[in-house]
A and B are shown apart, each in its own frame.
Chain A
Amino acid sequence: AAGVIQSPRHLIKEKRETATLKCYPIPRHDTVYWYQQGPGQDPQFLISFYEKMQSDKGSIPDRFSAQQFSDYHSELNMSSLELGDSALYFCASSSDTQRETQYFGPGTRLLVL
């Protein structure tokens, strides 16, 4: 079965640079979620989108923004990167009929130097 696709899988950036992470949800899933997982930590919810509108907001820094496009893929834009932004970033998706069940992608590992 098709899963959530994330790109890139690995990304290295310098401090103060910008980064864009992409997420392609499972086909026919209309809700996308972004999570950040620091080393040895549990995933922390950042933001979610339903039908291209922001649905809920968690602990997303003001330096980050995200959007969902008409094909339901989503992008997480990160600016003024800091060393502490180094983490795994997961995207998850869910369907309208079973919205609570979130299926996660493989993640993007971001390293800020």
Chain B
Amino acid sequence: GESVGLHLPTLSVQEGDNSIINCAYSNSASDYFIWYKQESGKGPQFIIDIRSNMDKRQGQRVTVLLNKTVKHLSLQIAATQPGDSAVYFCAENDEGADGLTFGKGTHLIIQP
């Protein structure tokens, strides 16, 4: 079946650098995408979302880019901090469906 997946399972970056986490999706019917941050033992925390009629959306220190042509989603985190260490999931929603389809998660490690 169609699913959302991530390119890299682990990403290690230096504190203060920018991080880019990538996500590929295959369901062309997806019209809404979300990035979640999940810390160990906690529930997924909403970071930022984007609809399919947009290609970029910015939040506080985060930017999501959507390339519908190649079905690619990315999360950019500026000036990463130790508190950014977590597993990051992209998720997509197919119009008409309730459940989110999650990717496999990228573990972001911040090095001092």
Give chain A's interface residues, CB within 8 Å of chain B.
Answer: 4, 31, 33, 35, 41-46, 48, 50, 55-56, 58, 90, 100-107, 109
Q: Which residue of B lies closest to A6 (CB)?
A: B43
Within 8 Å by CB of A43, from B42, B44, B46, B98, lies B44
Q: Is B45 an interface residue (CB 8 A)?
A: yes
Q: How far is the CA of A102 from the CA of B102 in the complex (A)?
A: 12
CB contacts under 8 Å to A, within B32-47, are 32, 34, 36, 41-46
CB contacts under 8 Å to A, within B60-107, are 89, 93, 97-105
Give chain B's interface residues, CB within 8 Å of chain A.
Answer: 32, 34, 36, 41-46, 49, 89, 93, 97-105
Inter-chain residue pair count (beta carbon < 8 A):
55
Q: How far is the CA of A41 from the CA of B42 in the complex (A)?
A: 14
Residues of A within 8 A of B46 (CB): 101-104
Residues of B within 8 A of A102 (CB): 34, 46, 100
Residues of B within 8 A of A105 (CB): 43
Contact B98 A33 (CB under 8 A): yes
Most buried by A among B36, B44, B98: B98
Residues of B within 8 A of A42 (CB): 89, 102-105
Residues of A within 8 A of B45 (CB): 104
Q: How far is the CA of A72 from the CA of B89 in the complex (A)?
A: 27
